[in-house]
Structure 1
Amino acid sequence: MQASHKALDRLRRGVDRFDVTGRILLVPQMPPFGTRLLVASFRAFGVPARVLETYKGLALGKEFTSGKECFPCQVTLGDILYFLKEEKRRLGKDFDPQRYVYFLPESDGPCRFGMYNKLQRIVLDRFPEYRAIPITYLSSEDAYSVAGLLPKKKARYFRRVAYVAAVIADVMDRIVWRVRPYEMRPGLTDAFMEEALQAMEKALVAFGPTRDFSRLYDLVEDIAKTAATFMDPRKPRRPKIGIVGEIYLRSHPDSNQNIIRQIEAYGGEVVDASIAEWLNYVSYERLRKAQEQCAQAWRRGHKAEALRAAKAVVHQRLENGYQSWRQHQVYGRVLRHLDIQPDHSVRHIEHFLDHDRHFSFDIGTEAALSIGGALAYIHEGFDGIVNVFPFSCMPSTVCSAVLKPLLLERRIPYVDAPYDGTSQPNRDVILKTFLYQAQQHQKARAHHTENS
């Protein structure tokens, strides 16, 4: 029993929130644009953050896990172990573990993601030289508050800058997905967007501390305006494919074996669910919980508790309104020049759950977003849905069980794309068949439109 308490105390000390100013913050890659802009946001507030090189340490990640973990756990664990191994080799005696902080967010609810940082703490502790490297995190439980990671005054402003950076990253992804399938010369879009991303990183560092978002908006508008000129107007519109699923797998190209590029290679145009969609959902759920607490306290006659909850409701409404306002500003600038896919509002997604008939926000998890988001895609004229997730992921398996019969009834092509790091010999055949079905759906939809 005493040993158990010691282990718990070690976890609490080694996985915590604390001021990371001046420490090298090691951030695992998820969406390439989004992670780099998050790191730039940290740098703007005095944290020398860096993106971990990804997927080179997968063998290490698998060596120190049992196989029962979610695949993203193995990838991120491999990333940090690979970095530390290479850093120790590079620096030799000058390697100082106290210079680093490992950043690994978490979520509440049933997803195993909530335990990644605890498990990885245990693994790092197996190496005496890594025990002094703390793990810090943000959590969906408090809508990713950064309280504790930065001084109080900076923390408030950092969260707003980081949110705008996430929306800009989403928009830059959507610029790529709209332009690249129709580019006049292969590679033109990717080369330009890498330069654009570097410019946006510098702009975030320069203007983030003063929250001069107009400078960021000007830049993203210029990026969209330039990228639009790369499109060949003679190329016909492709079937639109919507991707939903687990947030890490659908956002991390190496883990999903570059499924977006493969779908494009087989004739599709892709839109992946955004990162801001998840951030907005977490904020929306925080508001729902505050409203429920307020109502329950009022019914019990606990007026002081009800008042505190009511203040939380007002605060969260203001925060959600701020996020919506900023998101509309960014998309509005880009839509002046390029018809990227607008993002789904969380209320819009909940509407497509049909009064909880298909699923309920009360159950939570990413399944709520994936099911509602897939149905929203169909309403917007998409020709196929891909559900990307780690093998054995519970929310995405639920999503598959709900979506398959719904989309079969509506004759919408649908495919599950589970991943665990292994090669799937029939994957190409499945995707090619799926794209053929999507093309047929696009033709049938166009024919119906012409005759109606």
Structure 2
Amino acid sequence: DILMECVYRMRPYELEEGIVNRKHKIWEQRVISFLSGSSISHSQFKKMCREMVHEFDTIPISDVKKPRVGIVGEILVKFLPAANNHLAELLESEGAEAVVPDLIDFMCYCFYNQNFKVENLGFKKSKATMANWGIKAIEWVRKPASEALAQSRHFAPPADIRNLAKMASPIVSTGNQTGEGWFLTGEMMELIHGDVPNIVCIQPFGCLPNHIVGKGVIKEIRREYPTANIVAIDYDPGASEVNQLNRIKLMLSTAQKNLKKAEEKMHK
């Protein structure tokens, strides 16, 4: 998650071409060596988090303004470049910055869901207690990275799952737990609140849950946030890549126009 955030945040603006990818490869090897070592030290982990964030944070970048585009959707299509036709790279090649929420947030979502089940479906209270301990454990592991990201110049700390639930609640119930459920709506809201109004919502063709909590909420989100620029795209071996590309380009065209308008407003 840290590497993903660092790479996607810095790569579109790098002054020295390829430096972000080179640093990514170096850190990838360091992380693999650390995780496959005989002993995993928490203090070493904390040190690595700080160093990693600092190293990417100090890469010289241009001050060009580019539209930021969030990528949300079904978990496999969202994180596997081969499944989404290398969407992040496509966005970068089209002059945008890709913003992808963390993978571990999905685990927090799975834990958090137990609270609804206990409160509304008669599940044992112990399930919610254990799940909340699970969230706390994840937060403890994440803490060094979160602090490093919060103290950096270019990165933002990860979202709190409780805040995502709060943001999603006016639009969908937290009882929507099939697939990505309310979490998908929460991620879209998080992006909009984080100044990323452009969103590509991706899912495999015929993914019913995502069509409800993804496509189904777009209209309501646009009503609440008129500047939201969201496009829903199906990925499928039989889907036309040209059609996907055209829709993404149309969304980016709107994003560029909105960015230009915002800049003109600032200069007035």
The verdict on a shared fold, with TM-score over 0.5 as the criterion, is: yes
**Match of residue 155 from structure 2:** 340
Determine what percentage of the aligned residue pairs are the same residue. Answer: 21
**Match of residue 172 from structure 2:** 359
| Structure having the higher Rg | 1
Separation (CA, whole Å) in 1 of partners of 2:81 and 2:71 = 13
Is the counterpart of residue 185 in structure 1 residue 2 in structure 2?
no
Cα distance change of structure 1 residues 346 and 334 upon mapping to structure 2, 3 Å threshold = closer
Is the counterpart of residue 261 in structure 1 residue 89 in structure 2?
yes
Contact 1:384 1:438 in 2 (8 A): yes
**Match of residue 413 from structure 1:** 229
TM superposition shift of 1:338: 4.3
Separation (CA, whole Å) in 2 of partners of 1:286 and 1:231 = 44
Unaligned runs of 5+ in 1: 1-169, 298-308
Q: Output the TM-score relative to the length of structure 2.
A: 0.88
SS of the residue corresponding to residue 411 of structure 1 reads: coil
TM superposition shift of 1:257: 0.5
Separation (CA, whole Å) in 1 of partners of 2:118 and 2:138 = 18
Contact 1:174 1:271 in 2 (8 A): yes
1:197 to 28, 33, 44: 28
Give structure 1 regions of 4+ aligned residues with deviation exceeding 6 angstroms: none
Contact 1:389 1:418 in 2 (8 A): yes
For residue 135 of structure 2, what is the amino acid of its counterpart? N
For residue 280 of structure 1, what is the amino acid of its counterpart? C
SS of the residue corresponding to residue 242 of structure 2 reads: coil
**Match of residue 392 from structure 1:** 206
Cα-to-partner distance string for 1:105-160 (whole Å, 9 max, x where unaligned): xxxxxxxxxxxxxxxxxxxxxxxxxxxxxxxxxxxxxxxxxxxxxxxxxxxxxxxx
**Match of residue 129 from structure 1:** none
Unaligned runs of 5+ in 2: none
Cα distance change of structure 1 residues 443 and 289 upon mapping to structure 2, 3 Å threshold = same
Separation (CA, whole Å) in 2 of partners of 1:220 and 1:329 = 6
Contact 1:386 1:415 in 2 (8 A): yes
Q: Output the TM-score relative to the length of structure 1.
A: 0.54
Is the counterpart of residue 328 in structure 1 residue 113 in structure 2?
no
RMSD: 2.3
Separation (CA, whole Å) in 2 of partners of 1:228 and 1:346 = 25
Separation (CA, whole Å) in 2 of partners of 1:236 and 1:204 = 37
Which residues of 2 match residues 285-324 of structure 1 at below 5 A? 285-292=113-120, 296=122, 309-324=124-139
Contact 2:72 2:100 in 1 (8 A): yes
TM superposition shift of 1:319: 2.5
Is the counterpart of residue 281 in structure 1 residue 109 in structure 2?
yes
SS of the residue corresponding to residue 6 of structure 2 reads: helix
Contact 1:250 1:388 in 2 (8 A): yes
Contact 2:78 2:202 in 1 (8 A): yes
Alignment length (residue pairs): 264
Contact 1:383 1:439 in 2 (8 A): no
TM superposition shift of 1:334: 3.4
